[in-house]
Copies of this chain bind each other. A is one copy, B any other.
Amino acid sequence: MNPSQRLSLHIPEPPARPGEEPDYSAMRIPPAGGLERPPVDAAATALHGYADALIRVLDDSGAACGEWAPQIDPQTLRDGLRAMMLTRIFDDRMLRMQRQGKTSFYVKSTGEEAVAVAQAFALDDGDMLFPSYRQQGLLIARGHSLVDMMCQVFNNTRDRLKGRQLPIMYSVREKGFFSISGNLGTQYPQAVGWAMASAMKGDTRIAASWVGEGTTAEPDFHHALTFASVYQAPVVLNVVNNQYAISSFQGFAGGERATFAARAIGYGIPGMRVDGNDFLAVYAVTRWAAERARRNCGPTLIELFTYRADAHSTSDDPTAYRPSSEGARWPLGDPIERLKQHLVGLGQWSEAQHTGLAAELDAKVKADLKEAESYGTLSTPPDSPRSMFEDVFKDVPPHLVRQRQEMGY
């Protein structure tokens, strides 16, 4: 040891900044189909390898390879493709609404549609979802009304959240979609608690939750993993690693040193890392984890490796902190393109069908939008401000009645 050596602080630095050329040539992308699919009751200790791996099913030609390739009929795949396309078109259209001043805020999931859609397909309808703000695809995959979603975004007279929430902070009880919080990560231990309750009651339903890779640094990530491990809660915990947390690359969440799936190891939970832009792989791993949970074999942490193809939100301009060419160079492609290619390869889809579907969905979103707008937009508040004092408590207490009266209602 050389005691006179001076210490220095390491500050993570992303591979490329604006003005630099992103270079993914050193990125290790394992071939599709190279990994075994372990039994769902495998011991967590036997699964460490999956935390450093990348489970992939679709190869470069769009063929499904290896043990993880799930058995899904073509119609279901087409439904998945449709839900992803619908999600993207919906996002694009709502962004325009925000730009037109019809709502205050919007968050897209562009490039990450496979995460929410394939996972919704892999879970059962009764399973309870505790999402972050970037899984609108879950609602769309579960067939929720776009008009209802738009009305929330517009905070209009049909907004089921009574104008109270920021746009996109949906809550849809009948679809098992838990109220989105603006506070990062809080839903994670809540999902574990829900799953614990389900287990206490001898139910068969499991829970699933999502956070971004940046959010793994929050305490609730640790709480969720600890409680899930201790009580072996039937829950699927997902980390969507889209490599960015607003302007910060994943290195500021620890991504320079280990994968996010590896976090699971220390809790004795399987950590499965999957190509998040590969619909089939996402579906297969989620199904595996759900089955594991349902068989009382405990929780799973899934890292979905993807890329945030667009801005963080409408308040953000990513050209300020990352090269604009980065998305195009990102080697894992686009989830919609990749599933389309797979279906075409199977002979179950065609370019013409694709164009037709895109047009159909576009028309549908436009029509829905027209209906939603007919109930108003942000400038047309949803209801009387009187409702502002409701639901703080189950019953409006006297002091809130007095304040309501003070307001003139």
- Measured CB to CB, the residues of A under 8 A from B are 1-12, 40, 44-45, 48, 51, 124, 196, 198-200, 202-204, 206, 217, 219, 221-223, 226, 229-234, 251-254, 256-258, 260, 262-269, 271, 291, 294-296, 298
Distance from A38 Cβ to chain B, minimum over Cβ atoms (Å): 15
Q: Which residues of B contact A260 (CB under 8 A)?
A: 266
Given that A200-B9, A217-B226, A295-B5 are known contacts, is A266 also in contact with B268, CB under 8 Å in the complex? no
Contact check, B10 vs A204: say whether CB atoms are below 8 A apart.
Answer: no
Q: Which residues of B contact A198 (CB under 8 A)?
A: 7
Lowest 10 CB-CB distances: which A-B pairs, in order?
Answer: A257-B268, A219-B219, A263-B266, A222-B222, A258-B268, A10-B232, A9-B199, A6-B202, A7-B199, A262-B266
Beta-carbon nearest neighbor of A51 in chain B: B266
In the assembled complex, 19 residue pairs joining A and B whose CB atoms fall closer than 8 Å, in A order, are: A5-B295, A6-B202, A6-B204, A7-B198, A7-B199, A7-B203, A9-B231, A10-B231, A12-B230, A217-B223, A219-B223, A226-B254, A229-B258, A230-B256, A254-B267, A260-B266, A262-B265, A263-B267, A266-B266
Given that A219-B219, A230-B12 are known contacts, is A7 also in contact with B267, CB under 8 Å in the complex? no
Contact check, A1 vs B294: say whether CB atoms are below 8 A apart.
Answer: yes
For this chain, the copies found in one complex come to 2
Distance from A262 Cβ to chain B, minimum over Cβ atoms (Å): 4
Of B11, B202, B296, the contact of A231 (CB 8 Å cutoff)? B11
Contact check, B229 vs A257: say whether CB atoms are below 8 A apart.
Answer: yes
Distance from A58 Cβ to chain B, minimum over Cβ atoms (Å): 24
Distance from A3 Cβ to chain B, minimum over Cβ atoms (Å): 6
Taken together as a complex, chains A and B put the C-alpha atoms of A6 and B229 apart, in Å, by 19
Contact check, A295 vs B231: say whether CB atoms are below 8 A apart.
Answer: no
Taken together as a complex, chains A and B put the C-alpha atoms of A26 and B192 apart, in Å, by 32
Taken together as a complex, chains A and B put the C-alpha atoms of A280 and B202 apart, in Å, by 50
Contact check, B204 vs A4: say whether CB atoms are below 8 A apart.
Answer: yes
Taken together as a complex, chains A and B put the C-alpha atoms of A298 and B256 apart, in Å, by 13
Distance from A401 Cβ to chain B, minimum over Cβ atoms (Å): 35
Distance from A187 Cβ to chain B, minimum over Cβ atoms (Å): 16
Contact check, A6 vs B203: say whether CB atoms are below 8 A apart.
Answer: yes
Taken together as a complex, chains A and B put the C-alpha atoms of A126 and B286 apart, in Å, by 51
Contact check, A5 vs B257: say whether CB atoms are below 8 A apart.
Answer: no
